[in-house]
Amino acid sequence: MMTLPCLPESFNGVSLFGAEVLSIAASLVTNHTVSVPISDRFTQPPVEVQNATFCNVTVTYTHPGQGDTVAVEAWLPPAGGWNGRLQAVGGAGWVAGRSDLTAVAMAGAVSDGYATVTTDAGLQGAQDSEVPWALLSPGNVNLYALQNLASVSLDDEAIIAKSLIKAYYGRGPDYSYWNGCSQGGRQGLMLAQRYPTAYDGIAAGAPPLHWTNNLLAMLWPQQFMSMLGEYPYPCEIQAITAAATSACDGLDGLVDGVINEMEECLASFDPFGMVGQAITDCAETSEISQTAAAVVNATWQGMRTSQGTHAWPGPNPGTDLAIGVANTDCASGSCVGVLPAVAVPWVTQYIARGAELDLTNLTHAEFDELVHQGQQRYRSIIDTDDVDLSAFRDVGGKLVTYHGLIDQLLPPQGTLKYYDGVSALLPDVHDFYRHFEVPGMGHCSGGGPSGNPITLFDQLRAWVENGTAPDSAPVRVTDLEGTVGERILCPYPQKAIFDQDCGAAGEGRCWSCK
């Protein structure tokens, strides 16, 4: 198979319905060398990319009448090194893609033989917690930009990528895949729900699928502390977390520093029982306060309305709340709350629309109204909680989701609620969609004793291409002694059970799904 020269004119035939192509740039990249860690690949192992060669193509286009400028960037390996497949990589935070993170992930994809693609969704200047494009002017939300982030650019990206591939190699990809976590996980679910033919296989990790609830739920612990008028020291929060981990660790029959039985832990461990207990290695205080216990309890229980209605799940026991949603800053001698940066623009820019708003001084009723207004205005645009995946199923699509059970930002119960919803509507869900809980793993790849499910992408590919469904996935876990061992993850609702008679907790053969 021959390829066309890596020149802009080789791709002149690329077009997109509803869009006007403004420019096409193409350049041959050689000797591309970079270390690609797991934290940028999520479901694939790390790789050292050495002297990679690829054609870097950027298509810049606009949706006439919308005033946007969107860039889709594709990396196309030489014909002899192409595996015939496309792998798109997802974004993070408020970044749709085309960032330093996606560039590293794309290098890994090219190294594995994939053509790969990303999009900036027209949102130049976006950062994890900065959204300079949110408002056209004070009081006026840029809805076209939000739609690009939410969904439109994702479909555009897939269409353009396949067109570039066909132009360069003379044929389209045999199979197309999506790989992303967090924002990238939300994007993956949006694709399965709204654009079922875009990708054959989708790996979506820790998705903020109910965006309008998720971002306010991140602020709930800070709102609770504000209403309480008191803020605990981080060491108090961490001491309660450590005590919960110790108390609940053995509920699965194995003491290894990992909580598997979260529901039982929530029912059996009472943070208020820690009040007055001594803390070691804490400069600010010698014992756990009532305030700390109340904050931890409210965080675990999840967001509630002023009427006492449970609105959204909270993070699990064992989650490091002090670096997540219940963070406080006590450097000045008195503690203040630290708002999760990624959640703030949603309220200040989209719900308040740039009007003056003090997020640290809201009544419970005012907080409830922010939740309500966000849902009323934007749920149909950006939420990805549509459980009807029948179209994706009917075209043969395969979906895997995964979520760390000690995710510091996005409660894993939200993804379970979604899977249960799909299952209730489509009883054959297990034939095309499987969800994996990852005990001991934080957000996407951050924190905790568990590693990432680094074989899951290849397992997804096997499921798509030869029907071999992922009945389990290996994962590495560091136990209390610091020893790294292997065990397995199981597709929900199954759990990994340790065979006590086998005796080797660090060996995958001693675990089974039940």
CATH number, position 456: 3.40.50.1820
CA–CA gap between residue 476 and residue 354 (Å, rounded): 45
Please indicate, yes or no, whether residues 232 and 347 belong to a single structural domain of this protein. Answer: yes
Please indicate, yes or no, whether residues 192 and 261 belong to a single structural domain of this protein. Answer: no
CA–CA gap between residue 79 and residue 61 (Å, rounded): 27
pTM for the model stands at: 0.96
Which tens digit of pLDDT belongs to each residue from 401-443?
999 999 999 999 999 999 999 999 999 999 999 999 999 999 9
- Examine the residue annotation and report whether 210 is marked as an active-site residue of this protein: no
Please indicate, yes or no, whether residues 296 and 437 belong to a single structural domain of this protein. Answer: no
Decide if 192 is inside a domain. yes
Please indicate, yes or no, whether residues 14 and 131 belong to a single structural domain of this protein. Answer: yes
Query: How confident is the model at residue 125, as a pLDDT?
Result: 75
CA–CA gap between residue 497 and residue 513 (Å, rounded): 6
Which tens digit of pLDDT belongs to each residue from 440-484?
999 998 789 999 999 999 999 999 999 999 999 999 999 998 999
Please indicate, yes or no, whether residues 192 and 52 belong to a single structural domain of this protein. Answer: yes
Please indicate, yes or no, whether residues 355 and 394 belong to a single structural domain of this protein. Answer: no
Q: Which residue has the tokens 């008679």?
A: 501
Please indicate, yes or no, whether residues 86 and 137 belong to a single structural domain of this protein. Answer: yes
Query: How confident is the model at residue 3, as a pLDDT?
Result: 78
**What DSSP string describes 146-203?**
HHIIIIIHHHHHHHHHHHHHHHHHSS--SEEEEEEETHHHHHHHHHHHH-TTS-SEEE
Domain total in the chain: 2
pLDDT in tens, the chain (514 residues): 667 899 999 999 999 999 999 999 999 999 999 999 999 999 999 999 999 999 999 999 999 999 999 999 999 999 999 999 999 999 999 999 999 989 999 999 999 999 999 999 999 877 767 799 999 999 999 999 999 999 999 999 999 999 999 999 999 999 999 999 999 999 999 999 999 999 999 999 999 999 999 999 999 999 999 999 999 999 999 999 999 999 999 999 899 999 999 999 999 999 999 999 999 888 888 899 999 999 999 999 999 999 999 999 999 999 999 988 999 999 998 999 999 999 999 999 999 999 999 999 999 999 999 999 999 999 999 999 999 999 999 999 999 999 999 999 999 999 999 999 999 999 999 999 999 999 999 999 878 999 999 999 999 999 999 999 999 999 999 999 899 999 999 999 999 999 988 988 899 999 999 9
Please indicate, yes or no, whether residues 459 and 331 belong to a single structural domain of this protein. Answer: no
Contact 232, 328 (CB under 8 A): yes
Please indicate, yes or no, whether residues 168 and 275 belong to a single structural domain of this protein. Answer: no
Decide if 371 is inside a domain. no
Residues 6+ apart with CB under 8 A from 205: 42, 43, 180, 181, 182, 184, 185, 401, 402, 403, 444
Would you state the structure tokens that stand for residue 322, as one six-digit string?
């002090």
Query: How confident is the model at residue 284, as a pLDDT?
Result: 86
**What DSSP string describes 270-330?**
-GGGGTT-B-SS-SS-SB--HHHHHHHHHHHH-EE-TTS-EEE--PPTTS-GGGTTT-EE-
Query: How confident is the model at residue 467, as a pLDDT?
Result: 98
Q: Which helix (H) or strand (E) holds 497?
A: strand 496-498
Decide if 483 is inside a domain. no
At residue 147's C-alpha, the angle toward residues 141 and 148, to 5°, is: 115
Decide if 507 is inside a domain. no
Question: Of 120, 443, 450, 472, which is the active-site residue?
Answer: 443
- Examine the residue annotation and report whether 182 is marked as an active-site residue of this protein: yes
Query: How confident is the model at residue 1, as a pLDDT?
Result: 66
Decide if 3 is inside a domain. no
Decide if 374 is inside a domain. no
Q: Which residues of 164-178 are buried (b: 16+ CB within 10 A; e: fewer)?
A: bbebbbeeebebbbb
**Domain limits at 344?**
213-364
Contact 437, 414 (CB under 8 A): no
Share in percent of the chain as helix, strand, coil (round to 5): 35, 20, 40
Residues 6+ apart with CB under 8 A from 207: 182, 185, 186, 188, 189, 384, 401, 403, 410, 415, 418
**What DSSP string describes 22-56?**
EEEEEEEEEEEEEEE-GGGTSSS--EEEEEEEEEE
Beta bridge partners of 221: none
Please indicate, yes or no, whether residues 73 and 127 belong to a single structural domain of this protein. Answer: yes
Question: Of 200, 252, 320, 407, which is the active-site residue?
Answer: 407
Contact 444, 182 (CB under 8 A): yes
Contact 499, 510 (CB under 8 A): yes
Decide if 255 is inside a domain. yes
Please indicate, yes or no, whether residues 359 and 426 belong to a single structural domain of this protein. Answer: no
Please indicate, yes or no, whether residues 207 and 217 belong to a single structural domain of this protein. Answer: no
Question: Of 10, 153, 163, 182, which is the active-site residue?
Answer: 182
Decide if 184 is inside a domain. yes
- Examine the residue annotation and report whether 246 is marked as an active-site residue of this protein: no
CA–CA gap between residue 102 and residue 348 (Å, rounded): 27
Query: How confident is the model at residue 390, as a pLDDT?
Result: 98
